[in-house]
Every structure is written in C-alpha cells, then in structure tokens.
Amino acid sequence: MTASPSPSAPLRLLAVHAHPDDESSKGAATMAMYAASGVEVLVATCTDGSRGDIQNPDMESEPHPKRDMAGARRLEMNRAAGVLGVSQRWLGFVDSGLPEGDPLPPLPAGSFATLPLERAAAPLVRLVRDFKPQVILSYDENGGYPHPDHIMAHRVAVEAFEAAGDPARYRGTGDAWAPSKLYYDRAFSPERFRALHYALEEAGLQSPYAERLAAWLEADAEGHTPPAPTHPTTTQIECGDFFEARDDALRAHRTQVDPNGFFFAVSPGMQRRVWPWEDYSLIQSRIPAELPEKDFFAGLR
C-alpha cells in the first residue's frame, strides 16, 4: 500500500543536487530558513565532486585537493551543511566531470551521467522511502545549466518523485512513499539577475551581470552560460534573513568558490532590498495548489 503524507506528519524537504557546493549556490537560503523554522531538511548529493577543478586562486597551493579532491570536498560539504543547519546524504556516485573540447570527449566510464536511469535513481528512491519528504526540490530538464551530472540529477529526482510511491517499482528499497510536490529551482532566474543588475548600476557600482544578460539565450556548447529557464516562477520563498548563511555556506566550499567572485558581487543587504526571495517552479503537485505560492508546504501544514 502506498503511504502518503498526513496532516500531522513532520514537514520534510529533500533537495537533490549533483555535486557538493550545488546545495549552497542553489536554494541555500531557502533551506536554511526552513531548517530554522523546524522543517527537516535533507540534501541528497549525487556525486563525490572528484572531478571538480580548483576555482579559488587561494587554494592553488593546497595539497589536499590535489591529492584527494573527493576527500577535500567531503570536508567542505560537512562544513556547509553545518552552516545551513541541514542534514546531508551521499548517493555514492562518481563525478562525471564537465567535458570540454570540439568534439566533446566521452564521459568517463561508470560515472554518474553514464549510468542507466534505474541504477542511478535506485539510491534516491530508497532515500525518499526512508526520509519520507512531502516536497522534493531539484533542477529543470537542462540541469540549471547543462552539466551532464546536473541533467542526470534532474532525471533521477523526477524518477524518484514518480516511482517512490509505487510499491511495484524499485522493489527492495523500502516501503512505498509518495511525495506531494516537486519543484524546480530557478537560481538562474533572468528576472532576478536583471533586478540586481539595475540596482548595482543605479548605485554607481559595476555589475558583473551585463554580459550574462546580453548573452542569455546563447549558451555555449560547454554549458558555461546557463540558457534562460523554460519554467515560470510559481513560488517565491522569502528568505533574505538567511542570505549571509547562504554566502557562508558557499565560502565553505573553498576549492570551488572564489570568495571574491561572481556569487558575492551584490551585498546581502542590497539583495534583501531588491530581491529578498529565491524563485522556484512548482512542476507537479498531488494536492490542490493555488498559484502563486510563498511556501513549499502550502496545503500541507
């Protein structure tokens, strides 16, 4: 028999991310806000991040990530989860890396994005059945940006949302549980970048977003510029009080995030004045939903 949420069940949010650090750059303030309010928040990290490059110039001389990138990123993930106040689980897959070149080389054999969908989704189905979230949060069909692991993370999140409540599917991974709502993150919302861009210009400050806005629809083949999202914003979560926590969590990923880089171009205070929300699209709901929303758990509380 398929289990489904009851009105008295503890509220639980499961966020599915491709690599350690993705949880801190996409929806982190939302997760911190919900965790602080008493919601049980769990991040599922699909891969070990072992093929990530060092993005922070201050880390170039550090021996640990050069010797053991996955180990270094595991420590970073632990620190970031602590900052956000969330729990985190590894799904156990190997980072596929971001292929570069013309033509693009094949992905490493056995890496996350090369696996059959059912094999890649099985650990997440097991986690959904164990954790019993009412809400699942992940990326759109493009992965937020077209990294192969992000696209696969999208695929396994949708598969788990659809399959976890069916006792005939993924036998041996626990009792069936049907989450109520599936959201896609809109961290690369053009509306948000546009608002921040104009706020910086009006304040006489240099905006790092001009080039991105100008080239939004011209994503290069290697996925370095996110294409414009295809799903409209249905849900805005007001979480400005947690922008500092989000930034601190990002800085915890020292190998991947330059503390003087793009993510920190606009002060938390200015962001609170201009765009104090994080944006999402409600994709599927098994309960009646009234749009627009201001709460993932609307209809569940």
Question: Which residues on neighbouring strands pair with residue 185, listed in sequence order?
Answer: 280
Helix (H) or strand (E) holding 235: strand 235-238
Domain boundaries defined on the chain: 12-285
Q: What is the mean pLDDT of residues 48-76?
A: 92
- Pairwise CA distance, residues 184 & 247, whole Å: 21
Side-chain-side CA neighbours of 261 within 13 Å: the count stands at 16
Q: What is the mean pLDDT of residues 220-230?
A: 55
- Pairwise CA distance, residues 23 & 18, whole Å: 9
For the stretch 174-207, pLDDT in tens is 999 999 999 999 988 889 989 999 999 999 988 8
Q: Residues with Cβ < 8 Å from 185, sequence gap 6 or more?
A: 26, 27, 137, 138, 139, 140, 144, 278, 280
Percentage of the residues of the chain whose pLDDT score is greater than 90: 76
The domain made up of 12-285 is a member of CATH 3.40.50.10320: yes
76, 251 in Cβ contact below 8 A? no
